[in-house]
Structure 1
Amino acid sequence: MSFDQLETLYRQVIMDHYKRPRNKGVLQDGSLTVDMNNPTCGDRIRLTMKIDGGKVDDVKFEGEGCSISMASASMMTEAIRGKDTESALRLAEMFSEMIQGKDVEQIEALGDAVALQGVAKFPARIKCATLAWKALEKGLKDH
């Protein structure tokens, strides 16, 4: 597959998550809630997670923002659902490294979020892509 074809595929994956977000909504029943925003561009997210036995049993998000931030939130929820909290934090670390342009081993563990790898070329968009992941880290570390 050529670089142009790969870039087109990644763009399609990002737009699919933006237009048809996975796990959008709010969990009730005493779930962990984290609100974060990016004051530079106005992106905001509310992440709710149900942590049971050290595992992310369920996760949802709602918010407003650009296609990158909302697609990233959708991808993140898919990547962490069912994972133990340590693994979820490791995925957040991997995502952060990837988005900074670093080489990441086992990058496929990020699932569709790999499509955001090209954001590293656009420093102004990095905060958009990492907003949901930062909310995840904050929530799990505060939990």
Structure 2
Amino acid sequence: MELDDLYRRVIMDHYKNPRNRGTLDEESVTVNLNNPTCGDRISLQLQVEGGIVKQAKFTGEGCSISMSSASMMTEAVTGKTTEEALELAERFSTFIKGEPAEFEELEDIEALSGVSKFPARIKCATLSWNALRKGIEHQNQ
């Protein structure tokens, strides 16, 4: 199996079987964002206690790239401090633009490496990560 095929399978697995899809019952910060270019939309809920992301869940509709990225992001940031989550979001932003970055926290994120070849899809991949940043900024106010 070629690496591109493996990455495609990982992306489709997260798209068809998203992790952390749903809503939180506990008090949380909610961020709603959309990508007017392609119609992707996401609602991200974060439960942060003592500076740690206890839970992250999302709902929304969009392409396989945006929904898979949201699934991967929620897995990656759960249990991290808000500072670690923001740093991870920054590394993702660098990575998705084609620059090297390592993701020991969640190997599946590397499956999105091919997105950098399609600039129009970068907004799809970063939508949930932008929601994460906004949610943490709101939490820190």
TM-score by length of 2: 0.95
Identity score, percent: 62
For residues 130 and 93 of structure 1, the distance between their equivalents in structure 2, rounded to whole angstroms, comes to 10
Aligned to 1:68: 65
Are 1:13 and 2:6 counterparts? no
Query: What residue in structure 2 maps to residue 41 of structure 1?
Result: 38
In 2, Cα distance between equivalents of 1:109 and 1:123: 25
Q: After the TM superposition, which segments of 4 or more aligned residues of structure 1 sit over 2 Å from their partners?
A: 106-111
1:126 aligns with 2:122: yes
- Correspondence list, 1:1-143, <5 A: 5-104=2-101, 106-143=102-139
Q: How many angstroms apart in 2 are the aligned matches of 1:90 and 1:142?
A: 16
Aligned with 2:99: secondary structure?
Answer: coil
Q: Which runs of 5+ in 2 are unaligned?
A: none
Residue aligned with 2:34, SS: strand
Q: How many residues align?
A: 139
Cα pair 2:29 2:138 within 8 Å, conserved: no
Name the TM-score, length of structure 1 as normaliser.
Answer: 0.93
1:18-52 per-position Cα deviation (integer Å, ceiling 9, x unaligned)? 00000000112221100000011100000001000
State the alpha-carbon separation in 2 of the partners of residues 57 and 137 from structure 1: 16
Q: Deviations over 1:120-143 (max 9, x none)?
A: 000010000000000001110121
Aligned Cα RMSD in Å?
1.1
Q: Which runs of 5+ in 1 are unaligned?
A: none
How far residue 5 of structure 1 moved from its aligned partner, in angstroms, is 0.9
